[in-house]
Structure 1
């Protein structure tokens, strides 16, 4: 087959079974319980929460600590909080590795949010209380808490932050603590302190509520997206399962005609895996070469194109496919082609076999009449010419003409005899025989015949093991003799006939069976392609002499044994005839049932 110059498509090259397994695993993951599915999400959010905490503390407190250091002031609170944050983050990471349930993760989130609020409260109290610039950290904590994992976390956190900030404001305003170093009195007046508390408190509650609402909306959107993705994946797997379950071969192409998919039935029919045909032109794979203009006109129309095509299986045998090719439409635009095909090889073989058997039946009836209508008058004519030959006397011309007439009458009688044997072959006398021995018995006669031919030699290569089969040895000797004589006639200028025997294993109905092969390869002129379909027909011959029944008898005898003949030939390179015989009648019957009778090959 010719290779295509089309670029390989960017589709996944994974095997079909791998694609199904991956998608089915995706469906199973999407259809798993909500708790199991949310567990990795909780872990991810916890990691983000811990990372964000470290970043904020490092930036805000680290920068503040650096600023204090430039002024020559110490900030033990900042240092302690930074060290404590790093330490507790490490503890969080160790604990997180040991959590296995969603409930434990949810409780762990509450713990982290609570610790964060306490740390922020300490920081705010140590940096001015109601006037502290770090009060905004409450807002960040409320926002983060709202995203993990329910709305109530954000609302509760907002309420807690409001309460703690109110407590700080009250302590400062009413001066409830004597240690002014820990929480110094506020410089704000009563209305200003109350207003600051109201603004921050309202901000905490509003952020908690809105963040919770937003988090719920995001979760609902995510759930809806998951359900749609699950439905889409199931639908995709269902559609692919339908395509893979279809008994007919199905393929698709892109706009350039390069194959983009190949279902398992297509592999079963052609023997080509998807990786073998991916990116190749479909008409080259299937050996379809119509008129290019007609092809473009027919394939661009909306109606499907139906035709039969002769192509080759991956093992080299001939295939007859009934194919339907249609445009692949997507939103009203043609995106490529979709082809559906069925293997018609067995059907065509059975049709040919039925026609041949019907023809042989009619031939048998006609041959019975020929035996009486031609053979008896011919015998009488030959006897009369024998008597007339005695009365001719010494006239050489008359004697020569009479000899020609008698010789041709005998030749015509032999042709009729051969024809009757072909049309009505004798019943097979099946016995268990070693085909090596049967061929060796015939080889003596073949060697003797080769000595009478100028420049002809014989090379034999027998299998080292016995090739035992149920055959009629007399009929097979006739087959071997006819094939050898046919090879000699093809090498009129001399050459070499190579005779080989061997054993080959073939697939029959999912099981392996042994087939005996006997090959006759000559170095003659070869068989023209136009004669390939005629070489086994009765009376077809390209020789000046001969009845044209030799190969027809060979095919008939081999067919009666449940075997077949493979022919390989190229003009100028000789021809090779291979007789294939099953070792048992059961194997031959299965071969016929499976339609695996590749009796000729170009």
Structure 2
């Protein structure tokens, strides 16, 4: 038998139930005999009722006193049995003075059995049922009633049936209550663990409602912003984080977005903050807001900037050595021609030939210097929202007039508008270079296939421009180097055209891709982030 920690509380309720029941019987007796005051006082049954009432009150008082002093479980169990046995005795007294085995108050036995089942469960219920059975039999014999075994058997079965049913229900209630308490304990542990984890992580965590008002603000967010959670709960999130509005405006509420880096001012310091956004759902799966996590990545951005500058200096150093080598040859040719032109012995035709060589080498030097400056000199990234397909079409219209396109033609497939943030002039420079390379890759008449489309990834939508030729293709060992500065397979190429295009595309947050197979031509792709709202 398991006695729960709520036993003292149950005993108090049992005492209250006893007092209320006996008080009700006493009050009902008095009301029914108000017209006959003599019977109210002298009637034997009434005097027994008064005596039982006094005994019940006195016993209840004693029980309460003992309940306050007893601490051990065994003592409390013993007190419970004493009270229930006393209740059986009171029930027997009422039955004895109200008709014996035929009394309508035999249900008091049943109430006592039910109380035993609630407090002591199965063992207590059957113990009290046995006591009630013995008491009922004694009353039947003492009262002198003729022994009717059918009534005895019915009451016997009733007592034990009630004991079985009531104890079963009490056990079920106890088990359910225990499971409920265990569930609540698990939930409390889970909540405490969750709160500890959220409070311990170094990333700022903010939850917002569907109306973009802050509903949660963890300790890391408080530390990074200098604001307390109580100060920001219910406040629009863009009032605390002005930079988050563009992030939320381009994010679908149902999407998970990671890695949005923006400039933010926190604690009067300009920082780079990386935002991640995910939907917040309730237990039924309905979206009730969004979860925003952010962290200060200023040191990472500074490190990347330093690395970029170091890489740029290394590239410029390498370029300088390559440029010096490439310039030395034209200068040697120019120097030799000038020395020959200084001699008075050469004829006009020789002088004209030498002058042509000088001009050609000067043009080579100018092209080298122009490409070098275009690649190495940093330019401010000025962008505006432009239609990539429109810029590409304008570039093709102008390129059609170039002599390189005399034997080729371009087929354009741009069924949709793809808006990106870029400088249209520099974007034209990229497309022009790719078109020129495509035309030079096809010695015989061919078609340049041009298309514009959209690519979707988990966190971003991209605009894609493809320029494909029908040339001989690029071997794998060469394809891996085409974006490296000064790498070229052309006789008079500088090797800076594609690296310059790659750098321009990178400045706009995009990438360039090459897909080529020997004998099947090459395809260059310009991939740029699609402008917000598209």
TM-score by length of 1: 0.47
In the TM superposition, 1:165-564 aligns within 5 A as: 165-173=136-144, 186=145, 189-190=146-147, 193-288=148-243, 290=245, 295-296=248-249, 298-304=251-257, 306-313=259-266, 315-330=267-282, 331-348=284-301
2:251 alignment partner, SS class: helix
In structure 2, distance between residues paired with 1:281 and 1:135:
69
Query: Greater relative contact order: 1 or 2 (C-alpha under 8 angstroms, separation 6 or more)?
Result: 1
Whether contact under 8 Å (2:238, 2:245) holds in the other structure is no
Residues 547-584 of structure 1, C-alpha deviations (whole Å, 9 max, x = no match): xxxxxxxxxxxxxxxxxxxxxxxxxxxxxxxxxxxxxx
1:302 alignment partner, SS class: coil
Alpha-carbon distance change, 359 to 210 in structure 1, aligned in 2, over 3 angstroms:
closer
1:121 counterpart = 2:73: no
Residues 259-280 of structure 1, C-alpha deviations (whole Å, 9 max, x = no match): 2222222222222221121111
In structure 2, distance between residues paired with 1:136 and 1:357:
96
1:299 alignment partner, SS class: coil
In structure 2, distance between residues paired with 1:305 and 1:356:
26
Alpha-carbon distance change, 312 to 71 in structure 1, aligned in 2, over 3 angstroms:
farther
In the TM superposition, 1:23-172 aligns within 5 A as: 38-39=4-5, 41-72=6-37, 73=39, 74=41, 75-172=46-143
RMSD: 2.9
2:280 alignment partner, SS class: strand
Alpha-carbon distance change, 270 to 356 in structure 1, aligned in 2, over 3 angstroms:
farther
Alpha-carbon distance change, 238 to 290 in structure 1, aligned in 2, over 3 angstroms:
closer
Residue of structure 2 equivalent to 1:22: none
Whether contact under 8 Å (2:100, 2:143) holds in the other structure is yes
How far did 1:238 drift?
Answer: 2.4
How far did 1:354 drift?
Answer: 8.2
In structure 2, distance between residues paired with 1:147 and 1:88:
21
2:120 alignment partner, SS class: coil
Whether contact under 8 Å (1:129, 1:172) holds in the other structure is yes
In structure 2, distance between residues paired with 1:297 and 1:172:
92
Aligned residues, how many? 307
Residue of structure 1 equivalent to 2:428: none
Alpha-carbon distance change, 344 to 81 in structure 1, aligned in 2, over 3 angstroms:
same
How far did 1:133 drift?
Answer: 2.4
In structure 1, distance between residues paired with 2:20 and 2:308:
87
Whether contact under 8 Å (2:264, 2:270) holds in the other structure is yes
How far did 1:161 drift?
Answer: 0.3
In structure 1, distance between residues paired with 2:254 and 2:64:
65
In structure 1, distance between residues paired with 2:259 and 2:297:
14
Whether contact under 8 Å (1:299, 1:327) holds in the other structure is no
Whether contact under 8 Å (1:287, 1:309) holds in the other structure is no
1:318 alignment partner, SS class: strand
In structure 2, distance between residues paired with 1:283 and 1:207:
66
In structure 1, distance between residues paired with 2:96 and 2:30:
17
How far did 1:112 drift?
Answer: 0.6
In structure 2, distance between residues paired with 1:51 and 1:240:
43
In structure 1, distance between residues paired with 2:312 and 2:165:
91
Alpha-carbon distance change, 301 to 136 in structure 1, aligned in 2, over 3 angstroms:
closer
Residues 451-493 of structure 1, C-alpha deviations (whole Å, 9 max, x = no match): xxxxxxxxxxxxxxxxxxxxxxxxxxxxxxxxxxxxxxxxxxx
Alpha-carbon distance change, 194 to 64 in structure 1, aligned in 2, over 3 angstroms:
farther
TM-score by length of 2: 0.53
How far did 1:53 drift?
Answer: 0.7
Residues 393-445 of structure 1, C-alpha deviations (whole Å, 9 max, x = no match): xxxxxxxxxxxxxxxxxxxxxxxxxxxxxxxxxxxxxxxxxxxxxxxxxxxxx
Flag structure 1 segments of 5+ consecutive residues without an equivalent: 1-33, 174-185, 361-602
Whether contact under 8 Å (1:286, 1:309) holds in the other structure is no
In structure 1, distance between residues paired with 2:122 and 2:75:
18
1:148 alignment partner, SS class: helix
Whether contact under 8 Å (2:256, 2:277) holds in the other structure is no
Alpha-carbon distance change, 77 to 111 in structure 1, aligned in 2, over 3 angstroms:
same
How far did 1:283 drift?
Answer: 2.4
